[in-house]
Structure formats: C-alpha cells, structure tokens
Amino acid sequence: DGGITQSPKYLFRKEGQNVTLSCEQNLNHDAMYWYRQDPGQGLRLIYYSQIVNDFQKGDIAEGYSVSREKKESFPLTVTSAQKNPTAFYLCASTLKPVSYNEQFFGPGTRLTVL
C-alpha cells in the first residue's frame, strides 16, 4: 500500500500536551480529509482541504487544528482543548474535491491519552 501514508502508527500523549499527526500523499490529489473513528460511531469528519492553503471545519473540529502548506501534506494537531482525544485517526484524499471521487485512506494513527 503506497500513495497515502500516516505517521506514527501509535501515539501516546499526556493530558495537556498538543500532538501532531502526519499525513502525506503522493497521488497528486487536490483534496484531503481527516476523520476520527470511534467504536460504534463510524467515521466523523474533523477537517478537510480542497486545495493548498485552504481548509474548512468538518463536523467535529473543536480541539483540532490543521494546515495545508503543501499539496502532499495535511498534518492534524490534536490540542489540549480536545476533551476526549483517544481515538483512531484516518486521513484520506481524493483527486478533486467533488462527489463521485473515491476517497483513498491512509493506514491510520491510534492516539491514546495517558
């Protein structure tokens, strides 16, 4: 599996710390997305970016921040303001930010707050 990568695979954080999750793609995709996956709740959209230097909040953006300085990179920062950050985080990308485009997912990062 190439194309879209996430690091690290596992991440442990102490309460009160900010952490940054990496997402990189070499598919030349314009749009990128961050989802949070919790058991029994499916995937919920945190932030998305249609193009470089542009991003919008998703359904559960509180306590998170992103940047999109390069087309291939879309890092997610989980801040100390996020009340329940322990979850599995998935990054995805699509060729264009339109419906009908398949979303390709990264392998995910499992974040645990100690």
Partner 1 sequence: GENVEQHPSTLSVQEGDSAVIKCTYSDSASNYFPWYKQELGKRPQLIIDIRSNVGEKKDQRIAVTLNKTAKHFSLHITETQPEDSAVYFCAASRGTSYGKLTFGQGTILTVHP
Cβ at position 41, least distance to partner 1 in Å = 6
Spatial neighbors of 99 by CB under 8 A, at least 6 apart, are: none
Distance between CA 28 and CA 25 in Å, rounded? 7
CB closer to partner 1, 13 vs 110: 110
Query: Could you tell me the smallest distance in angstroms from the CB atom of residue 98 to partner 1?
Result: 6
Shortest Å distance, C-beta 113 to partner 1: 21
The footprint of partner 1 (CB under 8 A) covers 1, 31, 33, 35, 40-45, 48, 50, 56, 58-59, 90, 94, 96-103, 105-108
Q: What are phi and psi of 91, to 5 degrees?
A: -105, 145
**Of 50 and 65, which CB lies nearer to partner 1 in the complex structure?**
50
**Cα dist. 92→12, 29, 65, 114 in Å?**
22, 10, 16, 27
